[in-house]
Amino acid sequence: MAGVELAAPPIDVSADLSADLSADVSEEPAWPVPQLQQSRPLAGPRLESSFTRSVWSWEPVSDVEASSFAGRFACDFQSFDQDAPWRRAEVLREVLADAQACTWGWSGSGRQRADSPLPGRIYRRSATVVFVEVVVRVTSYVRAGAVAGADGHPENDGERGEWGEPAGMIGRSCAPPEADSAWAAAQAWWVRMTVPVTRAGEDGRLVVDPGLLSGPAGEQAGER
């Protein structure tokens, strides 16, 4: 149809759009945006070992239970006999979380016996980690004569006497006998030590973990 003019569009499509494209689009939206946090990678060996951990290992350790076990450990830790040096390592290995610590606290020479444990102050780090301060009476010995046998006992087996496990026995002790022909008792002292008691991951039994005595307290508490 000749002579008909089209109406101009309401929006000028020829306008410069550079100003709109350069507009600041960094304004925060009206709705909250969740913040993504980078997750910490789980340690493979630790995660794998947690599947084999005993449920009993998470059972809380009571103050009485920790004190009794700490007193037992303190007596054995402070007892040794150079005539039977293997005895102490064998006994401590059964109650330590790390068996390599069974040789700590003794140079390998001399003879000493600890008894009369007196548990005192208790510090509880968590339900399964308890520090117990124990005082024990320690008696040192000096040589009184030659050793009768290679193990410090009479060479004649008939003179050793027979013995059996006492009723109610719960474990061995490395404390040497009070009387021995090769040794004479000397000075006695009261000795204090702090025993960190926890539960073994594999079966939940009570153990002493010397590693809990060193390092940041927060990290240690988080590991249990």
The answer as to whether 3 is a domain residue is no
Which CATH number belongs to the domain containing residue 105 in this structure?
A: 3.10.450.540
Neighbour-count burial for 52-63, b at 16+ CB within 10 Å, e otherwise: eeeeebeeebee
- With a pLDDT cut of 70, the percent of the chain lying above it is 61
Q: Which residue has the higher pLDDT, 153 or 59?
A: 59
Asked whether residue 35 is assigned to any structural domain, the reply reads: no
What's the number of CA atoms in the CB half-sphere (13 Å) around residue 121?
5
With respect to residue 57, please indicate whether it lies within any of the assigned structural domains.
yes
Q: What is the pTM of this model?
A: 0.64
Asked if residue 156 belongs to a domain, the reply is no
Most confident of 1-5, 66-70, 145-149: 66-70
Q: Check: CB of residue 134 under 8 Å from CB of residue 118.
A: yes
- Comparing CA positions, the residue from 134, 133, 154, 152 lying closest to residue 143 is 152
What are the start-end ranges of the H helices in the chain? Answer: 18-21, 44-50, 63-77, 85-93, 217-222
Mean pLDDT of 187-210: 93
Range of the structural domain that residue 69 is part of: 52-147+173-222
The model's pLDDT over 10-49, given as tens digits with 9 standing for 90+, comes to: 555 555 555 555 555 555 555 555 554 555 555 555 655 6
Across 54-59, average pLDDT: 87
Residue 135, domain member (yes or no): yes
What lies within 8 Å, CB to CB, of 28 at 6+ separation is none
- Structural domain total, the chain: 1
The answer to the question of residue 12 being in a domain is: no
Return the ∠ at Cα 50 (arms to 47 and 55), rounded to 5°: 160
| Integer Cα distance of 64 and 44 in angstroms | 36
The answer to whether residue 204 scores a pLDDT higher than 80 is: yes
Predicted confidence at residue 96, as pLDDT, reads 96
